[in-house]
Amino acid sequence: MPRKVITRTGKPGATANDRRILVGATGPTAEPVDDGEGQLLNRNEFIHFLFEAGGTSPVFNLQVWWYSFVSGRWHRGEALVVNNDDLVTIEVQGLNRVFLQVTAVSGTSPTLDAWLALVVPV
């Protein structure tokens, strides 16, 4: 029997615009440096990245970074390609924080917004 879940935001905010983890990205962004960056995962098993891509023929290459208290470091995870209003589901597997980095962009006037949804069993 399937387990029931709800989603809640990974970044607090009063509106959807306030809850974005990427805001109108148009080019590459920096990788995480310290342990306070990114979003805390609060022991969730799965997450959803929700995207809104704008412009003409946008393509965004993204790097997911995971922070582990075990190593005290950021580690490269999944590489994603987003070119539309995509949704990506990822299993967290006990890691502590997640960070989304834009590594390359193409298209005409591309923009990218992203949200993090934590999948919570009920």
The string of pLDDT tens digits covering residues 28-62 is: 999 999 989 999 998 888 999 999 999 999 999 99
- Phi, psi angle pair for 54, to nearest 5°: -125, 170
Domain borders along the chain are 5-121
Q: How far is residue 58's CA from residue 56's CA, in Å, rounded to a whole number?
A: 6
> What pLDDT is stored for residue 1 in this prediction?
34
5-121: CATH number: 2.60.120
Which tokens sit at 17? 């615009």
- Spatial distance between the Cα atoms of 88 and 75, rounded to a whole number of angstroms: 19
**Residue 89: count of CB within 10 angstroms of its CB:** 10
Rounded CA-CA distance 45/119 in Å is 7
Q: What tens digit of pLDDT does each residue of 85-99 get?
A: 999 999 998 899 999
Between 5 and 47, residue with greater pLDDT: 47
Cross-strand bridge partners of residue 20: 115
Enter the pTM of the model.
0.93
Longest dimension (CA), the chain: 46
